Amino acid sequence: MPTITDIESTLESLHDRYRPLNTGAVATYIPELTKADPDLFCIAVRFVDGSGFTIGDTDARFTLQSCSKPLILAQALSTVGRDMVMRLTGVEPTGNSFSSMVGLDQIGKPLNPMVNAGAIVTASLLPGDSAEDRYKRMRANLSAYLGSEAELDTAVYESELRTSDRNRALAYLLKSKGTIEGDVKQHLDLYIRQCAISVNTQQLANAAATLANNGINPVSNERAVSVEYIKDILVVMLMNGMYNYAGRWAYEVGIPAKSGVSGSIFGVVPGVMGIAVYSPRLDEYGNSTRGLAVFSDLSKRYNMHIFDQRDPK
């Protein structure tokens, strides 16, 4: 595994190597996301001892989008427990795109909490007495992962609210099946807010490092999630975090990770570090093209795949 000193020069060379990679396109289905500068590129790491390094467009801000899903899964687990979360969603890869409806009517529940339908279910489980209270608690918990106050990107939030007919359809279908209960509009609003939390790459690396560090943010020493649920979250990330590319990712990279359509990927090397990459051009699965290249390179260079033999005989 790398130390902070060797990772600095590695990240500098990876940033140089993959900056010319211009394949893919910025997401357009949420109108506000089309405004992102496609050339932005930032890589950040945070070690569990609190040290860290960032290279590239360190000030670039982007929204969490699907990178929020494992963190909200953690909140749902902490609120209602493992059995209930497993009853209402699951851990199976879908093989379909993240907003797919395939199978939902027959099965009645989403296959996992990393696709939109499953994440709407976990959002519906978030605790609180009112819409404001639930959002406040969600934001406070996300802040614990980021290491600073989580802020909402209002423009992205409003843009997605106006255009989320597909998510609305998923949510009402789930309500008709009894998988979601209560105020569907409020649950959807919370889901869209979690996706619209604005971060920079270092903050996202902090979130990954919190998961790598048994749930304690290594910068602030604040606990974001009980150690009891870390394994649940990492398994779900490894199996489902990269959409319908998850199998290839597990095969080639083998780092529990999650990507979001704003162009971010964050990955967890348990007990060692969190890694985050931001670059808005996406491939056909919705994964950042430079992000994939950086993670794949890092994994091979430092034997970070979870099944790499650490001490080959």
Catalytic residue (one of 18, 157, 243, 278): 243
Q: How far apart are CA 247 and CA 267, in angstroms?
A: 15
Nearer to ligand GLN, 10 or 179 (CB): 179
Q: What number of other Cβ atoms are within 10 A of residue 297's Cβ? A: 16
Q: How far is the CB of 261 from ligand GLN (least distance, A)?
A: 4
| Of 74, 261, 268, 276, the one binding ligand GLN by CB under 6 A | 261
Catalytic residue (one of 66, 78, 159, 259): 66
For position 278 contacting ligand GLN by CB under 6 A, the verdict is no
Q: Phi/psi of residue 287, each to 5°?
A: -100, 140
For position 62 contacting ligand GLN by CB under 6 A, the verdict is no
Return the CA Rg of the chain: 18
What residues numbered 198-257 form the site for ligand GLN, per CB under 6 A?
A: none
Nearer to ligand GLN, 18 or 62 (CB): 62
Nearer to ligand GLN, 14 or 26 (CB): 26
Q: How far apart are CA 288 and CA 277, in angstroms?
A: 8
Contact letters for ligand GLN, residues 167-186 (x by CB under 6 A): x-------------------
| Of 110, 241, 260, 263, the one binding ligand GLN by CB under 6 A | 260
Nearer to ligand GLN, 24 or 286 (CB): 286
What does the block give as tokens for 129?
């007495």
Chain residue whose CB lies nearest ligand GLN: 66
- Would you tell me the crossing angle of helices 116-124 and 69-80 to the nearest 10 degrees? 40
For position 98 contacting ligand GLN by CB under 6 A, the verdict is yes
Angle at 62 between CA 56 and CA 66, to 5 degrees: 120
For position 291 contacting ligand GLN by CB under 6 A, the verdict is no
For position 116 contacting ligand GLN by CB under 6 A, the verdict is yes
148 a catalytic residue: no
Long-range contacts at 298-301 (CB < 8 A, ≥ 24 apart): 298/10, 298/14, 299/252, 299/253, 299/254, 299/255, 301/10
Q: How far is the CB of 248 from ligand GLN (least distance, A)?
A: 17
Q: Phi/psi of residue 270, each to 5°?
A: -55, 135
Q: How far apart are CA 118 and CA 61, in angstroms?
A: 26
Nearer to ligand GLN, 7 or 121 (CB): 121
Nearer to ligand GLN, 171 or 230 (CB): 171
Q: How far apart are CA 106 and CA 74, in angstroms?
A: 27
**Is 255 in contact with 291 (CB distance < 8 Å)?**
no
DSSP letter string, 118-129? HHHHHHHT---S
191 a catalytic residue: yes
Q: What number of other Cβ atoms are within 10 A of residue 6's Cβ? A: 12
Residue for token digits 């969190």? 274
29 a catalytic residue: no
Nearer to ligand GLN, 164 or 213 (CB): 164
Q: How far apart are CA 63 and CA 260, in angstroms?
A: 8
| Of 160, 171, 193, 265, the one binding ligand GLN by CB under 6 A | 160
For position 286 contacting ligand GLN by CB under 6 A, the verdict is yes
78 a catalytic residue: no
The three-class DSSP label of residue 113 is coil
| Of 42, 195, 242, 255, the one binding ligand GLN by CB under 6 A | 195
Where do contacts with ligand GLN occur on this chain (CB under 6 A)?
A: 65-66, 98-99, 116, 160, 167, 195, 260-261, 286
- Annotated active-site positions, please? 66, 69, 191, 243, 261
